[in-house]
């Protein structure tokens, strides 16, 4: 049975509300490359937050780096002081927790934030590490041989796609 693909724009609207509830004075949005970075890019002006959002890559701290290598996606850019900052990480899909672990290691290379919270578009369960989102717009259960990914069109609109993972 093929899973129902949720509407990404509807989930994004849910995410906006969830992120608003997590904001504190001085919170910095940081999107995980690439889907989370797209979310942060769109949320920053929509929420009328000052400054620029950050982008963070998990590539250098992944536990499967030897197999995957460096990706061609954006690298880390944090246009604010990380030391003592209140950071809200954004990602499209939370699955095993390994990407978030790698992102936290990368973040701490830049300083020690006061607080780091996590908001995701989709939590698909399947955790291998004790990582939990402070907010998830939706929960979606998929078999291990399927993945869900956020896609963005030329106008910045979001869609989701579910694909079969080879060798899962």
Give the model's confidence band at 168: pLDDT under 50 very low, under 70 low, under 90 confident, else very high. low
Global pTM value: 0.92
pLDDT at 166: 80
CA dihedral for 135, 77, 41, 102, sign (positive or negative): negative
Phi, psi for residue 89 in degrees, rounded to 5: -75, 140
Q: Confirm whether 156 is domain-assigned.
A: no
Query: Is the separation of the CB atoms in 54 and 30 below 8 Å?
Result: yes
Q: Residue 162, SS3?
A: strand
Greatest alpha-carbon pair distance for the chain in Å reads 48
Q: Confirm whether 164 is domain-assigned.
A: no
Q: Would you give the DSSP letter of residue 26?
A: T
Please choose, from the candidates 53, 111, 121, the residue with its C-alpha nearest in 3D space to the C-alpha of residue 82: 111
**CA–CA dist 135, 148 (Å, integer):** 18
Q: Confirm whether 68 is domain-assigned.
A: no
Phi, psi for residue 63 in degrees, rounded to 5: -80, -5
**CA–CA dist 111, 18 (Å, integer):** 26
pLDDT at 66: 47
The DSSP annotation for 81-134 comes to --TT-EEEEEEEEESSSHHHHHHHHHHHTT---SEEEEEEEEE----SSS---S
At 143, list the tokens.
């078999």
Structural domain boundaries enclosing 23: 8-62+74-143
Give the model's confidence band at 65: pLDDT under 50 very low, under 70 low, under 90 confident, else very high. very low
| pLDDT, tens digit (0-9, with 9 covering 90-100), for 11-40 | 999 999 999 999 999 999 999 999 999 999
Q: Confirm whether 39 is domain-assigned.
A: yes
Give the model's confidence band at 48: pLDDT under 50 very low, under 70 low, under 90 confident, else very high. very high
| pLDDT, tens digit (0-9, with 9 covering 90-100), for 106-165 | 999 999 999 999 999 999 999 999 999 999 999 999 998 999 999 999 999 999 999 998
Mean of pLDDT values over 65-92: 82
| Number of domains the chain contains | 1
Q: Confirm whether 157 is domain-assigned.
A: no
| CATH number of 123's domain | 3.40.50.2020
Q: Confirm whether 162 is domain-assigned.
A: no
Q: Confirm whether 24 is domain-assigned.
A: yes
Q: Confirm whether 21 is domain-assigned.
A: yes
Residue in the block written with tokens 């990602």: 91
């Amino acid at each position: 049975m093929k899973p129902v693909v949720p509407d990404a724009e509807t989930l994004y609207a849910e995410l906006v509300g969830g992120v608003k509830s997590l904001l504190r004075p001085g919170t910095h949005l940081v999107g995980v490359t690439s889907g989370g970075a797209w979310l942060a890019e769109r949320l920053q002006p929509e929420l009328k937050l000052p400054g620029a959002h950050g982008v963070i890559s998990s590539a250098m701290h992944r536990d499967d780096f030897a197999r995957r290598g460096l990706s061609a996606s954006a690298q880390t850019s944090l246009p604010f002081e990380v030391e003592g900052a209140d950071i809200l990480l954004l990602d499209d899909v939370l699955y095993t927790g390994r990407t978030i672990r790698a992102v936290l290691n990368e973040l701490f290379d830049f300083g020690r934030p006061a607080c780091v919270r996590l908001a995701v578009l989709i939590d698909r369960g399947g955790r291998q590490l004790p990582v939990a989102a402070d907010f998830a717009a939706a929960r979606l259960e998929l078999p291990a041989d399927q993945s869900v990914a956020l896609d963005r069109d030329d106008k910045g609109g979001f869609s989701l796609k579910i694909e079969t993972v080879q060798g899962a």
